[in-house]
């Protein structure tokens, strides 16, 4: 008898969409421009999970971008799950409300953030975070 369960996705994307990494955030990490702020936020979460500092800096707005990131600093968080709570776009600005769960040194934690994004020349950029 067949099973009604969905087939397991090989190399699932850390962002939580039911797609393989290569068909989801991997496309954006390889250079495809994110079509909206939600997709950019998901790809940035995935970049944190995969340690892609160059992508994070490239998608951070120049007015608020740090000069460098050091994602390899110990202890390195293990990113576990992303939950999107809300997404709102208003022209060339947007917000994404999310909760990211991670573990540091065996201890589970969560980050609740409302991220602000801005679109310039057809590209979305992470601007900053409001208190979550």
Q: Which two tokens stand for residue 4?
A: 């009604």
CATH of the domain at 103: 3.10.450.50
pLDDT of residue 41: 97
Does residue 8 lie in a domain region?
A: no
Does residue 2 lie in a domain region?
A: no
Q: Work out the burial of residue 97: count CB atoms within 10 Å of its CB; fewer than 13 is exposed, 13-18 middle, 19 or more buried.
A: middle
- 3-class DSSP state for residue 38? helix
Residues 109-118 have pLDDT tens digits of 999 999 999 9
Domain limits for position 108: 21-131
**Higher-scoring residue by pLDDT: 5, 30:** 30
Residues 6 or more apart whose CB falls under 8 angstroms from that of 130 comprise 95, 113, 114, 115, 116
pLDDT of residue 100: 96
């Amino acid at each position: 008898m067949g099973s009604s369960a969905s087939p397991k996705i090989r190399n699932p994307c850390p962002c939580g969409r039911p797609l393989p990494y290569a068909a989801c955030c991997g496309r954006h990490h390889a250079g495809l421009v994110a079509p909206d702020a939600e997709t950019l936020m998901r790809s940035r979460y995935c970049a944190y999970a995969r340690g892609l500092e160059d992508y994070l800096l490239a998608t951070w707005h120049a007015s608020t971008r740090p000069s460098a990131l050091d994602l390899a600093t110990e202890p390195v968080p293990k990113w576990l799950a992303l939950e999107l709570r809300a997404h709102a776009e208003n022209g060339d600005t947007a917000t994404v409300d999310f909760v990211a769960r991670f573990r540091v040194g065996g201890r589970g934690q969560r980050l609740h953030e409302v991220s602000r994004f801005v679109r310039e020349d057809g590209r979305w950029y992470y601007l900053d975070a409001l208190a979550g």
